Amino acid sequence: MTTEAKAGSTIWETIKTVFWALVIAGIFRTILFQPFWIPSGSMKDTLLIGDFLFVNKFAYGYSYASCPTVRIARLGIDVDAKDICGFLDGDNTRLMGGEPERGDIIVFRHPVNGTDFIKRVVGLPGDKIQVTKGVLQVNGEAVITEEAGVFEETFAAQGPLQRRPRCENGAVGKGASCTKSRFRETLPSGRGYHTLNITTQRSDNTGVYSVPEGHYFFMGDNRDNSTDSRFPQAVGGVEFVPYENLIGRADRVIFSSAGRSMLYFWTWRGNRFFKGLE
């Protein structure tokens, strides 16, 4: 075989290897697990900015939203899940569908703008949900809420978006301690998790939301810093999320980076490797 032929064969083998690697990665991401990096503080202290996790996509079965959305603005790449699997959209059903449980942490496709959100489902189809004086009410009954100390973090720009946290202890300077009250919230099923409080605001007292059939009501654990189903008319508000828009369940943090990039391994948080989520 000539040198030119060997070079051509090597290039072709490389192309085939890359092609099949992309196919396998696509199947893995579509059917099994989807990587997700937490960009905001709406789920503190359960999830921190910079947490990296894999979302279990077979927990609730598959719909059009199970197909990957790939957006890389600097490369001009904008491939939406509907571009690939739009033929499955519209009937609000799922293949091998499973039902979420109240309290699950779920990544879902925003019903309006198509971006991926992660929140906790607190309202199931047919539920009546309300927040009164900052306390979640499920079907007319207040969930058990107990004080659970203080959540403390450093006031500084966080993550790639360089967002600064809101603090219950007022305006503090860079590098100072930023605190929030922490509570233990227990659902009627007995499932419990932490929520945070920053201040008294409009979202602490809502009307009654009647969750339609085939839809779910979501809230962030960082209750005063989460745009969720309590704000259906707000810019970025979530409204009720259709069953087919669920992508998967978050069960465990794989690792966590306190820096601007998950590649900055020296900023990884040593206490969050493979941390299970409540």
Q: Which residue among 40, 42, 226, 256 is the active-site one?
A: 42
Pairing of strands 241-242, 215-219: antiparallel
Q: Which residue among 44, 57, 119, 180 is the active-site one?
A: 119
Place of tokens 């959209």: 89
Q: Please tell me the number of Cα atoms within 13 Å of 270 on its side-chain side.
A: 1
Q: Give the pair of three-digit tokens for residue 178.
A: 């930023």
16 in active site = no
Q: Return d(Cα 202, Cα 48) in angstroms, integer.
A: 24
Radius of gyration of the chain (CA): 21
Q: Give the pair of three-digit tokens for residue 236.
A: 């970025």
82 in active site = no
DSSP run (H or E) holding 246? strand 246-256
Report the catalytic residues: 42, 119
